[in-house]
Structure 1
Amino acid sequence: MAAGIVVLGTGGTIAGTSDVAGANVGYTAAQLGVQQLLAAVPQLAQAARGPLRAEQVAQIDSKDMGHAVWARLVQRCLVHLADEAVAGLAITHGTDTLEETAWLLHNLLPAHKPVVLTSAMRPATALAPDGPQNLLDAVTLAAQPAARGVLAVGAGVIHGAREVSKVHPLRLDAFASGDGGPLGWVEGGRVRWAHGCAPQALPPAHAGLAGRLGEGGQWHMQWPRVAIVMSHAGADGSVVDALVGAGFAGLVVAATGNGTLHEALYPALLRAEQAGVAIRLASRCPQGRMLAQADERWADPLGLPPVKARISLMLELMARA
């Protein structure tokens, strides 16, 4: 029997419903179970190229994504990726924090099989919901023999975990990949790679951390508290001082331009560093990458946006523990 696809459900708008028939907004996320989502798209059985299974990992609005759900999702992904009867995974997720979950999984999961996140901008009860097609595309991509690693697909566009970002609050094509552009497209049930072949999947940066997960999806350690602070006109250091006083272990600064900081923010960050807090810089700019400076005090997180730089710093601190 051919290896099949497992769909892991976490909720989100793709599973949302509205009391107003056909409405695109004003809905409640995470109302339908993943089995209901699969039942609404009979074409999934053919797209999977083998057995199709589903599992409900969580049922939340992704704006409320937290560490416990992340740990459970990582644990279930590891179980299924180790199963020879599984060719790939598809994950239904809300759009709001999809890019964060994608980056977390990219850093923790083995990359020998595809893990494809998908979502929707309209609820399942909308006049023209986008979830069914996105789910079909995700299963199609997860069953693609050449696909590897953590990917995301929406509105027919394939994105990498590192590049994908939500860039629009309402459009169906709400995600983009910045300067790098998309990895490919799903068109008429077929995958077309942007450069003629599937991109190489790199080994996870923190594979060792995944081994510290227990059977119940719990880490044998605490998630470090890491916050994002923005440098902006009129900024001061009081927020930084308060976060240090509250026991945060790391701070990611969403800096202006090429990593510049407000003059009132810099001394507060120095105080935080002296108190043992890890500091990282990321740029507020949605495109491009900061150029390294010879006198740079705090490491640039390799061009990551602040929300992904935060995840990288959390994992770094966990790996040290």
Structure 2
Amino acid sequence: MKKLLALLPMLSFSALLTAVQPALAQAPAANPALPNIKILATGGTIAGAGVSSTQYAGYQAAVTPVDKLLAAVPELSKVANVTGEQIAQVASHNMTGDILLKLAQRVNVLLASKDVDGVVITHGTNTLEESAYFLNLVVKSSKPVVMVGAMRPGTSMSADGPMNIFRSVITAGSKDAHGRGVMVVMNDQIIGARDLHKTDTMTVDTFKAPVFGYLGFVVDGKTHFYKPAARKHTTATEFDVTGLTSLPKVDIVLGYEDDSRTAIDALVAAGAKGIVHAGAGTASVSAAVQPGILDAVARKVAVVRSPRASLGIITRNMEFDDDKFGTISGDTLNPPKARILLMLALTKTSDPKEIQRMFDMY
């Protein structure tokens, strides 16, 4: 092939085609014994690059295209027939509802094909848990969907992206992975989308399932599962994004000492259809904020209580009268995931009782 490239300037198009055909004929065909896995790339640190192999601060995310990501892991050809597609190229804190809808709709189209056995999605880690939970609620297939990211850019001397991609493809091609909802594979661990938490700003073991535990592990090219996802997901949900062109506007307000209703009033005035109140402790609401919530609910804005601590359960009327104020308790969802579910719930209904049913179910 090197000799062929050296001759390119001297070859006519017909001569070039004649010369290339034997090389093309020798290209490996899809192995019918291996699963067919589609990789959808959206950007993030896993597609990032720095100016040196030791750089972390200041590297640029979302610059490496999907073909180069796959080329960095030639071992993929031994475990699956892999093809890639670039859906977006953004750092995940720039993910939008439009990108989420595009991604979900594309996943559903791919999984409906008999030629696709599973999907892997590369994604930035900043908002990975939100996108994973969104897909967990709207994917309409029992085939595996695996999301993967990296905490170090690809130019790092110890980049974690290539191994994470390799193990994600193994998981997406595993028959044992069917029917478990959307999963995230990083640092050898398989975590359910609903249970996923990013717990550290820098370390490679940042993603954990601190409340409900891991679904399983990937070891030496094989998946080991120990439990199913506990809540309804994918084909068992009532949410459908087919033909959906936008998502309702939902925002998050933080509760803290000496807070006020100012943020809630501003969001309602700006057209928010839902608000997640990330309250202190058991998602408590201060006396200063309570009138703002009452006014928001009166204006048909759905308000969900979720703990700013991100872990633990918030049941209905726990240290706050949800029945009186017309609010919704967030169960064990942290504020960002509560926002995801509230957005989808508002595509179906604005009835707080119905939305509460969904929070209790999903």
- Cα gap change, 1:33 to 1:243, in 2 (>3 Å): same
- The separation in 2 between residues aligned to 1:207 and 1:10, in whole angstroms, is 26
- In structure 1, what is the equivalent of residue 21 of structure 2? none
Structure 1 residue 228 displacement after superposition: 0.3
Shift of 1:81: 0.5
Give the alignment's TM-score, normalised by structure 1.
Answer: 0.92
Counterpart of 2:105 in 1: which secondary structure?
Answer: helix
Instruction: Give the one of 87, 94, 110 matched to 1:57.
Output: 87
Contact 1:301–1:309 (Cα < 8 Å) also in 2: yes
How far is the alpha carbon of 1:203 from its aligned partner?
4.1
**Higher relative contact order, structure no. (Cα contacts within 8 Å, ≥ 6 residues apart):** 1
Alignment match of 1:151 (pick from 174, 183, 187): 183
2:347 maps to what in 1? 318
Identical pairs, percent: 37
2:206 to 154, 160, 174: 174
Question: What's the secondary structure of 1:171's corresponding residue?
Answer: coil
Partner SS, residue 306 of structure 2: strand
- Classify the secondary structure of the residue corresponding to 2:276: strand
CA contact (8 A) 2:253 2:278 kept: yes
> What is the aligned counterpart of 2:242 among 196, 207, 211?
211
State the Cα distance separating 1:201 from its structure 2 match.
Answer: 8.1
Q: Is the 8 A contact 2:111 2:141 kept in 1?
A: no
User: Is the helix fraction higher in 1 or 2?
Assistant: 2
SS at the partner of 1:182? coil
Cα distance, 1:207 vs. partner? 4.8
Q: Is the 8 A contact 2:108 2:141 kept in 1?
A: no
1:87 pairs with 2:117:
yes
Which residue is 1:216 aligned to?
none
Corresponding residue number in structure 2 for 1:189: 221
1:104-253 alignment, distance < 5 Å: 104-148=134-178, 149-195=181-227, 199=229, 202-204=232-234, 206-213=237-244, 219=245, 222-253=246-277
State the alpha-carbon separation in 2 of the partners of residues 111 and 257 from structure 1.
37
By how many angstroms is 1:206 displaced? 4.9
Q: Tell me the alpha carbon deviations over residues 19-50 of structure 1, each in whole angstroms, 9 at most, x when there is no partner.
A: 123323321001111111111111111222xx
The letter of the residue matching 1:190 is: K
- How far did residue 255 of structure 1 move? 1.4
Q: Does 1:306 align with 2:335?
A: yes
Number of equivalenced pairs: 310
CA distance in 1 between counterparts of 2:187 and 2:62 reads 20
> Matches of 2:232 and 2:85 in 1, distance apart?
27
Unaligned runs of 5+ in 1: 214-218
SS in 2 for 1:239: helix
Mapped contact 1:280–1:300 kept (Cα < 8 A): yes
Deviation sequence 1:257-312 (CA, Å, 0-9, x none): 22311110111100111112111111112322123337433221221101011111
Q: Which structure: larger Rg? A: 2
Q: Which amino acid aligns with 1:165?
A: H
Unmatched 5+ stretches in structure 2 = 1-31, 351-362
Would the alpha carbon gap of residues 173 and 320 (structure 1) be closer, same or farther in structure 2, given more than 3 Å must change? same
Matched residue type, 1:299? I
Greater Cα offset, 202-211 or 266-275: 202-211
Matched to 2:265, the amino acid is D
Distance in 2 (alpha carbons) for counterparts of 1:170 and 1:89: 27
Aligned partner of 2:100 in structure 1 is: 70
